[in-house]
Amino acid sequence: MKAVTLIADWDPRPGFKLGSKDIEGRQTYLGSRVWRNPRLEIREYDVPKPGPGEVLIEVKACGICGSDVHMAQADEEGYILYPGLTGFPCILGHELSGVVVEAGPGAYDKRTNKPFKGGEPVCAEEMLWCGECQPCSDGYPNHCERLNEIGFNVNGAFAKYIVLPAKYLWSLEPLRERYGEEKMFLAGSLVEPTSVAYNAVIERGGGIRPGDNVVICGGGPIGLAAVAILKRHGAARVILSEPSPSRAELGKKLGADYIIDPTKVDFTEEVLRITDGYGASLYLEATGLPQIVYPQIEKTIWEGRTLNSTVVIVARADAKIPVTGEVLQVRRARIIGAQGHSGHGTFPRVIESMAAGMDMTPIITKKIKLDEVPEHIIKLQTDRTECKVTCVMD
């Protein structure tokens, strides 16, 4: 079978030291500090076989994530932009949905609590947690000490087939009635990125009270998912800060009440004008440019009247941000980091929200075939015309 594979050179920056789970020449938790000269190839692989507790999935849809783009994108010195766990060569793709083809012994469907038989529509968590370490035992599998990630250091889903342990799979059956057969798999491929947003604004950010104001910085798939989630959660004003007109329009479709173009207006002045001087209870940094965006958020918190604001940083970036402690102290504000999605039942809650009418499929602005994935990953490095480009398998 054909699969989109990322290759890069192990060439650590000066001063890099192997971490406890880093593997010399193969894997690191600090991708942008190590991997150089990324390139994409379509390689041939054998169809994998499921073992005990595993299932073979025929992939139906898989979205291109910003992480895929940044793993394949180099800085001026040739190092990849993505800062996290990476192990190359690796088949990319983690926003997947598909159909169970074959199941190994002991592979159970969580929805029915019965063995998979084949034919079940599923999506998959991207973060492969062990379930045994301290963070997993504490209920934080997305911070697993033995973490692996589909499409980052474990072969992913830009391929016809993928084998995964059944414990990471979630049934898409609740979506069938509302979305139908084909659209169900498109929606299913958006469960993972929507769950990242859910984890950021609900689990890590603590959610909001109905009637609160929120500001979403960045109208990419995660930011747009946060718009939809927080509007359904009862936000009075959902303000999306996004310069792209096409992404701003998507934001409106998904529930944004106001759009700010921070390249044309003063961010703080606009947020305070819209909120009658109060500002917001929750700010989401989903741009990947926290060194630029955070100072604007901080100024708004300082000049606004809302206490106890939460700033959630969800976009991955190898960048430091200037933080003024006095602002956090006086305004009783806090900064929270959010990683991934696993734990606290994010996947089933997102699936049920989608089944109840939270349709995320408008963010899919282009559908492509497997052979087109490499060129679109490269194109997305500089072209933000499309929001979510999704590979649909034949």
Residue 312, Cα to own-chain centre: how many angstroms? 14
Report the alpha-carbon distance of residue 86 to residue 34 in Å, rounded.
10
Report the alpha-carbon distance of residue 294 to residue 241 in Å, rounded.
13
67 as an active site residue: the answer is: yes
Q: Given the structure tokens 């600090």, which residue do they identify?
A: 30
Of 67, 171, 189, 353, the catalytic one is 67
Report which of 101, 78, 1 is spatially closest to residue 43, judged by C-alpha positions: 1
70 as an active site residue: the answer is: yes
**DSSP conformation class of 150:** B
Report the alpha-carbon distance of residue 17 to residue 28 in Å, rounded.
10
Report which of 347, 380, 320 is spatially closest to residue 189, judged by C-alpha positions: 347
Cβ atoms of 392 and 369 within 8 Å: the answer is yes
Of 32, 70, 189, 341, the catalytic one is 70
- Backbone φ and ψ for 179, nearest 5 degrees, come out as -105, -20
Q: Given the structure tokens 């918190």, which residue do they identify?
A: 301
Instruction: Give the active site residues.
Output: 67, 70
